[in-house]
Structure 1
Amino acid sequence: MEGKCNLTLLSDVTDGCGFFFHSDFGLLSKHISKQLAVDDVDRALKYGYPLQQKYKILIRKGECLRNQGCMQDATIALKLALDSLSESTLTTAEIKVKSEKIANLLRSCSSESVREEKATASSCGFDPHPSIANASRQISLQYSTEKGRYLVAETVIQAGDVIISEKPFAVVLLPDHYDTHCHYCCDRALAPVMCSHCIHVQYCSEVCKDAAWEDYHEVECPMWEVLQEIDSLGHLGVRIILSAGIHKETMISSFSKSLPTTSNGIPGCRADGIYQADYGAVYSLQTHIDNQTQENLFQASMTGLLLSICVHIRLGKDNSVHWDALCNDTEVCALAGLISRHILQLRCNVHAITAVHPQGHADDPGRKVETTEQVRVASAVYPTVSLMNHGCDPNVIASFNGSDVTIRATRNIKNGEEICHSYGPHKNHMPVAERLRKLKEQYFFDCTCSACHMTEKEPSDWSMFKCSNCDQPATLLDSDLVCTNQQCLHKESAKEKLKLKEKADNLFKEGVRCCDKEDVEKSLQLLQQSLHIHEMVLFKHHRTIAEVRDCLARCYALQVHLALFCLLYKPESSTRKQIKKAKRVITKALPLLSRYYGNQHESVQELLEMQACLLSL
């Protein structure tokens, strides 16, 4: 945490400390986050903000909450502000002015509250399943000896429909993001709140800090340095135990025997047949113990034993530190067995929480267009999401809001069709042989999905040329291109197409250089030429075509940025055409992004803000 100054590290706060939290309020409310500004107000009040000026920050809190659409909370804050006026040093005339301002704000909250309720009701497009926690009523849970547990569509599911919305049973932030993200919800910690007992972890709010302490950090806090010596799977394994409260059981050795037996024959379901996504569901996840290497089994066993001893000592169940005594303790061994079980399960059932982060120096003021990449932020276990089997051509997509995951359909799914998501290997990103190898190595199964079955002996579409006869993929064999379409099998010389591809590649490289120099017009010209030639010789799903289009999109974004600048400072210029073009692009992009990621996704919100900006010009 070098270079950070965080006032929440202070345990003994004087009355004047409230000023420090309030001093950040203006910056947060104007430039970063209104919710963080509200949190700072709450901390200022908690740590003794002067009563005479209390009305000021309560008014600001009410304004922020109103702007967020939280009318009920805004009304409460504003009424408290009205009551606080009597404690101020204002004159009678000044109190009257402030009272009128608060009254106007209260009236606006009242008129907006009805609209807020309607919007909340209409935004809920998720009809919960009566017997599958966190899942839509549109799906059902099935089981077979070949497939294990899997989900199928109970009715026709439309593209964009939410199938699963789930909070993690347990989650562990990855070390690279300790200083930037919340250790509880995995959201960005823009105004970090430190643990009151250590300097190792931070949170985005007091709420997350208190929840983490209650769930697991009270036990983890003094053993944090030990946790940093093991991998994230070991850490997540013990956090599952702590989050479930298993360490509080008086007889851990008999705990697993007390788990209910399901009535429907599907592992993880309760006695009444309901899949609750509780600890019983996590416990039922496959360990694949027969397929694990001896090294993995030994490492999981030793890690489980080490962590169980640490937890045992931390809870004060045994003050003895004698290794032999602890290793032979029945309860320690039982806890070690559970942790080891979860570590083995996580090798096949862990989910990566991802976020879109800017590449390079995001704070560079000279950057007009930001290039982003998907980054793994945390590891988590989701019992309901784990019910889905793998498909190399999945029909769903996952998006994250902090650590909360939402699974949406990417295309229309027929009644009775299996719901599949990608465990990593995807038909558009990896050849068949490599997909089969990776799935076998990590998940211990031979993939028989349609994408692997139909193209088992064929090269991948994204690395192939285009057949001149039927436009289908053609593979390079020696000096010839041979069509993979069994109805065509056209054969032609590769010489001319290889020469054209080299020319197109050079145009692409030059176009990228011009784009980096912000020579937009020349870059667009070169990239469009490159795209035209690439589309002539390469199959439509070829990776290079996607890369050229991505760079074109970057250029168009840069062009819009420059057009906005010209419109603001040179309104007589001809840039209004570019603004109209940008409006059309946003209008087309919004429904697509909303369908797959939801209206609250960061990318959708950014587009809405850009659209509002353009409409105001």
Structure 2
Amino acid sequence: MNEMFLSCCLLLILGLCNERMENDRFYRNLCSMETLQSGSKGFFQEFSNAVVDEVGDAWITKVFGKANSDEERIRIIFTDKKIKDVVLETLNRVQELYRDKSADISLKRRLEGIMENVAGNYEKALLLLSQAVLRAPPTGKVKNIDQGLSLALALFARADTLMALNEYQLALEDLQSAEKEGLPDSLRAKLHWKIGNCQRTLGFGEKARISLSLAEKLLPPERITERRELMKDMDRLNFNESLEKPKEIDKEPNPAVILTGGANATFPGASRLLTIKETQDAGRHAIASEEIHPGDTLAAEPPLAACLLPEFYGSHCHHCFTRLRAPVGCSICSSVAFCGSSCRDTAMSTYHKYECKIIALMIGSGMSILSTVAFRMVTQVGIEGCLEICKRIKLGQNNINEANEESRTKSDEKLAISKSAKRRLRKKKLKEAGEKSAEDLADFTGQEMNEEQNKSHVDLRAYELVTLAGQRSPEDFLRRTLMATFHLKCLQKVGFFVNPSKFNEGPSVEELLVGSLLLRNLQLLQFNAHEVSETRLGNDHRFRGSKTIYIGVAIYPTVAFFNHDCYPAVTRYFSGRNIVIRAIRPLRVGDVLAENYGPIFTKRSLVERQRSLTGRYWFKCSCRACYEDWPGFKSLTNDCARLRCPSEGCTRLLVQPREPKKPVKCPGCQKKVNLEHRLNKLRECELDYAQGHAIMEAERVDDAIQAFAEALEKFHKIASPPHRDTHLAEIALAACMAISGNTWKPTNSGGGERQLALL
């Protein structure tokens, strides 16, 4: 009877374990797919499901699963009879899809904006006129509307509204842009008049005189009233010579972040207070190379690649992620907006010239923002940058060797880059760079080409990051390969390749190499990317009611080496697209510099954290909070903290004594020690925390940071967490430091997000 009962229990336990393992496997696969595609939206999920169903589990395991390289996986998609036709049937239908310019809509929005401006509704007018600017076609393209001057007229009208809002620097930029686009003669005098007024208000006296004088020359004599007003403006300028220094304007970049201890000579964007160590269990990870104190800035790194979430295309700059005020647009599409000409020109000269005409298709596919970043890593460096990356990380050697082997067959035309194609590639590069004349191009030798390639620079740091390829299932690889081939078809469609393969041809060597690079990106980003955020402040108080909003995703190769801890040592925030890492507790030399990947011990149980981290990042966390199973906030108290043994050289932690004055024996050093002094210091820390919170409530941010930093330094010298007040203080310190990064306060009038409705 007992044996039967035990057998039943064992079978029940085994059944529960198998069920849990199956659930965990399902959750892991679900998490992995979420990094590739966004839920059930878009056509890509339906497409990939159809392909998986068509080829079947046996083919996926026995054929596709045998591929040992990314380039081989890409090749199989295009060559294997089992999968080729079903994939190409969909991918060959890839077409340009984007939101075009519209002179009609631009005119309508401009007239609506002018009416709102006259009525004094300046913010609404600014929104409408910004839409008019973004939808306006290039000058001269649509001549039957506004004589082809839609963009110039929209900029001119928006400048009026900006001047009414006292934003003269932005108004001046719009007026100068309108001047470049060309305005009718009837408006040229008014244009220079407004430019002069902006310059006068900003303190550029001499420039204002020139602009106002030019306006006077252009103004017809019969317009007596306007000439009188113009002369008054010139008289005001003559009597106000104190305006020679330009005023401080609102449109300033985020202040430069200073790294504590200076810059690291080995790891870009990091402080010299840290280094990267590699161990078998933890891989490559950041540790302290010197003592670190709360508040120290340990990293300030620009992204290798970053993409804005589509829902913020109407509120943030597509390139630098700053909030839009008077945006400018792409010359071709109306899908994105930029904060100014500098960001626009940078984007247009690199990635956006390829992404522009397929941006709506990519969003409509349902691909995740991580997949978009994987695509951006390719488009921003161009075809030559991709080929150089492949060469330097030794990616695609099988393709190159096979291409050489098959160069004596007909398929050479499909797999090798012809000399004429190379020549066109070189010619295109030099034409863009403006380095040589046509005669120089004709004599451009292979040796010179090699020298030119040696001068180029590509950032390879991302390709040192883990992909966990050895742990991926064949189906996971297949779905990522399908995404990479979709990306590849998009690149073919937008002219990324100088000599793209034809409809009925297999991919060329360079296409296979770029495809394998895309597949590599899709793997490494799954575990190494960061969400870019901004802090949305409360209406009545900086901190009460504030929350973190995620606006994009980026890859930071140095910060990607920071491992996870459910009790993090650092916090992160963002300044534009740059990530900033600062310490929230003291660390000794050799201590791990860990950040938090999402699940934190104060909010989520051990089981929840382990399931989340195993499913999303494929590792089982063994941090101290997990090993000791620290309680969450619901049951966490200050009595949970342990005191450090006061004996010199002893690292033992001791529970808080019930009788503070009574000595206790330390199990570590075997000495009897009195903990009363340490306990009193602990109570002092708790009072210091309360003082820090009071300073924070008064919104004295810098003073609050100093108060919390000093109190936390004191706590960690005499005690060890978990300790409720300490964790609250660390959270408060992180919130105070984030104020110096991306922040936004909703206006009381609108209340919500100011969007330009681009998509």
For Structure 1 versus Structure 2, the TM-score category normalised by the shorter chain is 0.5 to 0.7
1:184 to 316, 319, 327: 319
- Cross-structure match for 1:291: 471
Match of 1:340 among 519, 527, 538: 519
Q: Paired residue for 1:197, among 322, 326, 332?
A: 332
Is 1:322 the counterpart of 2:507? The answer is no
CA separation of 1:210 and 1:326: change in aligned 2, threshold 3 A: farther
- Among 21, 33, 39, the alignment partner of 2:155 is 21
Deviations, residues 120-145 of structure 1 (Å, cap 9, x unaligned):
89978672222221112222222223
- In structure 2, what is the Cα distance between the partners aligned to 1:368 and 1:488? 40
User: 1:394 and 1:285 mapped to 2: Cα distance?
Assistant: 21
Q: Displacement of 1:169 after TM fit?
A: 1.1
**Alpha-carbon distance between aligned partners in 1 of 2:460 and 2:347, rounded to the nearest angstrom:** 22
In the other structure, the counterpart of 2:262 is: 127
Rounded Cα–Cα distance in structure 2 between residues aligned with 1:464 and 1:401: 36
Structure 2 stretches of 5 or more lacking a match? 1-98, 100-104, 110-127, 141-147, 217-226, 397-456, 642-653, 659-689, 706-732, 748-759
* Shift in alpha-carbon separation, 1:102–1:392, aligned structure 2, 3 A: farther
C-alpha distance in structure 2 between counterparts of 1:408 and 1:583, whole Å: 18
CA deviations over 1:516-573 (Å, ceiling 9, x no partner): xxxxxxxxxxxxxxxxxxxxxxxxxxxxxxxxx9xxx9xxxxxxxxxxxxxxxxxxxx
> Contact conserved, 1:305 with 1:332, CA < 8 A, in 2?
no
The 3 A distance-change label for structure 1 pair 158 and 59 is farther
**Which residue of structure 2 lines up, in the alignment, with residue 224 of structure 1?**
359
Partner deviation per Cα, 1:355-384 (whole Å, 9 max, x = no partner): 23479xx9xxx9999944322211111112
Counterpart in the other structure of 1:45: 179
Residues 520-531 of structure 1 aligned to structure 2 (within 5 Å): none
Q: 1:19 to 1:433 in 2, by over 3 A?
A: same
TM-score w.r.t. the length of structure 1 is 0.64
8 Å contact 1:590–1:604 — kept in the other structure?
no
Q: Tell me by how many angstroms 1:212 deviates.
A: 1.2
Q: Using the alignment, how far apart are the partners of 1:244 and 1:16 within structure 2? A: 33
Shift of 1:48: 3.7
Q: What are the within-5 Å matches in structure 2 for residues 244-263 of structure 1?
A: 244-246=381-383, 254=391, 256-257=393-394
In structure 2, what is the equivalent of residue 441 of structure 1? 615
Q: Which residue of 1 aligns with 2:743?
A: 602
1:174 aligns with 2:275: no
Per-residue deviation, residues 344-363 of structure 1 (Å, max 9, x unmatched): 1111111111223479xx9x
Q: 1:390 aligns with which of 556, 564, 578?
A: 564
Verify the 8 A CA contact 2:382 2:496 in the aligned structure 1.
Answer: no
Deviation at 1:31, TM superposition (A): 5.1
Match of 2:91 in 1: none
Q: For 1:464, which of 617, 635, 651 is the aligned residue?
A: 635
Cα–Cα, structure 1 residues 290 and 250, in superposed 2: closer, same or farther, change >3 Å? Answer: closer
Change (3 A) 1:26 1:154: farther
Q: What is aligned with 1:154? A: 289
Q: Distance in 1 between matches of 2:605 and 2:737?
A: 26
Other structure's SS at 1:105 match: coil
SS at match of 2:306: strand
Deviation at 1:18, TM superposition (A): 4.5
Deviations 1:395-438 (A, max 9, x none): 21111233222111122333332211111111122112221222
Task: Return the offset for 1:465.
Answer: 7.3
Q: 1:16 to 1:338 in 2, by over 3 A?
A: closer
What is the deviation of 1:447?
1.5
Shift of 1:309: 3.1
CA offset at residue 310 of structure 1?
Answer: 2.6
Give the equivalent residue in structure 2 for 1:80.
207
* Structure 1 residue corresponding to 2:372, chosen from 235, 244, 250: 235
Alpha-carbon contact 1:309-1:326 (below 8 Å) kept: no
Q: What RMSD over aligned residues (CA atoms) do the two structures have, in Å?
A: 4.3
Cα distance between partner residues in 2 of 1:86 and 1:220: 44
Q: CA deviation at 1:282?
A: 1.0
In the TM superposition, what whole-angstrom CA distance separates every residue of 1:446-489 from its partner, at most 9, and x where no partner exists?
Answer: 2222222222xx5x3223276xxx9559xxxxxxxxxxx98899
Counterpart of 2:503, as a letter, is H
Is the 8 Å Cα contact of residues 408 and 597 (structure 1) preserved in structure 2? no
Q: Which residue of 1 aligns with 2:238?
A: 100
Q: Is structure 2 residue 482 aligned with structure 1 residue 355?
A: no
The answer as to whether partners of 1:55 and 1:81 remain within 8 angstroms in 2 is no
Q: Secondary structure of the residue that 2:465 maps to in structure 1?
A: coil
Aligned 8 A contact 2:375 2:487 in 1: yes
- Counterpart of 1:129, as a letter, is N
Among candidates 117, 122, 132, match of residue 6 of structure 1: 132
Q: Distance in 2 between matches of 1:217 and 1:449?
A: 42
Do 2:259 and 2:298's aligned partners in 1 also have CA atoms closer than 8 Å? no
Q: For this pair of structures, how many residues does the alignment match?
A: 460
CA distance in 2, matches of 1:389, 1:380: 17
Counterparts of 2:232 and 2:167, CA distance in 1: 30
1:307-334 deviation digits (Å, cap 9, x = unpaired): 12331342353455425x234x222221
User: 2:675: which partner in 1?
Assistant: none
Partner of 1:532: none
Q: Is the 8 A contact 1:309 1:332 kept in 2?
A: no
Q: CA, structure 1 residues 319+441, in 2 after alignment: closer, same or farther (shift >3 Å)?
A: closer
- One-letter amino acid of the structure 1 residue matched with residue 535 of structure 2: V
Distance 1:284 1:62, change over 3 A: farther
- Residues 292 and 587, structure 2, Cα contact 8 Å, conserved in 1: yes
1:137 is matched with which residue?
272
Q: What SS does structure 2 have at the residue aligned with 1:257? A: coil
SS class of match (1:142): strand
Change (3 A) 1:339 1:250: closer
Structure 1 residue identity aligned to 2:635: M
Q: Deviations over 1:243-269 (max 9, x none)?
A: 23345556786453289xxxxxxxxxx
Following the alignment from structure 1 to structure 2, what is the Cα–Cα distance between the partners of residues 311 and 598? 40
Is the contact between residue 390 and residue 421 of structure 1 (CA under 8 Å) also seen in structure 2? Answer: yes
What residue number does 2:116 align with?
Answer: none
Rounded Cα–Cα distance in structure 2 between residues aligned with 1:368 and 1:382: 29
Retained in 2: the 8 A contact 1:134–1:164?
Answer: yes
Asked if 1:331 corresponds to 2:472, the answer is no
Amino acid of the residue matched to residue 262 of structure 2?
Answer: D
- Using CA pairs below 8 Å that are at least 6 residues apart, which structure has the higher relative contact order? 2
CA contact (8 A) 2:571 2:584 kept: yes
Residue 368 of structure 2 aligns with an amino acid whose one-letter code is D
- Unmatched 5+ stretches in structure 1: 67-73, 260-276, 474-484, 490-548, 554-580, 607-617
State the distance in 1 between where 2:339 and 2:255 align. 25
Kindly name which structure, 1 or 2, has the bigger radius of gyration based on alpha carbons: 2
Q: Alpha carbons of 1:22 and 1:137: their partners in 2 closer, same or farther (altered >3 Å)?
A: farther
Q: Using a 3 Å threshold, how does the CA distance of structure 1 residues 236 and 32 change in structure 2: closer, same or farther?
A: farther
Q: TM-score, normalised by structure 2?
A: 0.53
Contact 2:212 2:234 in 1 (8 A): no
SS in 2 for 1:420: coil
Distance across 2 between alignment mates of 1:227 and 1:144: 39
From the superposition, tell whether residues 121 and 36 of structure 1 become closer, same or farther in structure 2 (CA, over 3 Å): closer
What is the alpha-carbon distance in structure 2 between the residues aligned to residue 248 and residue 449 of structure 1?
40
2:340 matches 1:214: no
